[in-house]
Amino acid sequence: METSFYLSLVTAIFISISASLLGSFVILKKMSLVGDALSHVALPGLALGLLFHFNPFIGGFLTLLVAIIGIWFLKYQTNLPVDTLVGIFFTTSLAIGVLIIPEQELLEAMFGNIASISFNESIMTIILSIISVIILLVIRKKLLVNMLSEELAQSINIKSRQIEFIYLLIFALSVALGIKSIGALLMGSLIIIPAASAKNIAKSFNGFMAWSVVFGIISAILGIYSANALSITPGPIFIISATIIFVISFLFKKIRS
């Protein structure tokens, strides 16, 4: 197989590792629908990248960064639930994105095309995915405590606001990394579905994280190979593969119980 195939495969694996590990925290925080909506916030930045011919990752990440800063700030200023704030940013971003994105680029923006990723983009994606994973692993205990109770976290000197901000920042980075390959419409699903599959079979939190990553990697590999064999866009196949794994894990859970 040609070099571009293996480049796409390796990049997709690293994106999936970062996204699925994040997904284990998203599910524990009960932010699955919120997480999916937040991934769409990248659309205006992606549209600007396509319009002015700069890297869509940069545009998507900057849009997400503005959104997560706004959500984080307003959460503590208004006491509104995070899902309400995400809903405001989601609908506004979606409206702006659809208005300004070039019609001929709309499909790729929504569903991605990892086959078009360049070598430099791939290296950048891999490095940032590794950084994202490392940060999540470093803060995982503090993040878990903060998810259980912000009051408890503060009582043991965990800075809840800073941890929350880092979590949202990693979310923005993970979504932005997947824009090129999965697209703004589907990236939220890649974060959520492998983790949901892992929750069906995991017996501990460490196992939950590990299985999330394993299922994410399998989804990426199946998606790339299937898309290459069928000559279709990989993004939707990623999600279909992840969904099949979820169904299998659900059946396994039922049989085991």
Using one digit for the tens of pLDDT, what is the confidence trace for 46-70? 778 777 777 777 887 888 888 888 8
State pTM to two decimals: 0.84
Contact status, residue 13 vs residue 220, Cβ threshold 8 Å: yes
Task: Report which DSSP code applies to 3.
Answer: H
Provide the 3-class DSSP secondary structure of residue 247: helix
DSSP state of 180: T
CATH classification of the domain holding 191: 1.10.3470.10
Tally of structural domains, the chain: 1
Tens of pLDDT, residues 218-256: 998 988 888 888 887 777 888 889 999 999 999 988 887
Concatenated DSSP letters for 182-200? T-TTTHHHHHHHHHHHHHH
User: 32-39 vs 3-28: helix axis angle to the nearest 10?
Assistant: 140
pLDDT score at 53: 77
* Cα distance between residue 5 and residue 189, in whole Å: 23
Tokens of 136: 């999540």
The residues, ordered by sequence, that sit 6+ positions from 22 with a Cβ below 8 Å of its Cβ are: 132, 136, 170, 171, 174, 191
Q: How far apart, in whole angstroms, are the C-alpha atoms of residue 143 and residue 133?
A: 14
d(CA 59, CA 72): 20
Report how far residue 192's alpha carbon sits from residue 242's, in angstroms, rounded to the nearest whole number. Answer: 9
Distances 46 to 59, 62, 82, 189 between C-alpha atoms, Å? 5, 9, 24, 18
Domain range for 186: 3-256
pLDDT tens profile 149-206: 777 777 888 888 888 888 888 888 888 888 766 766 677 778 889 999 999 999 888 9
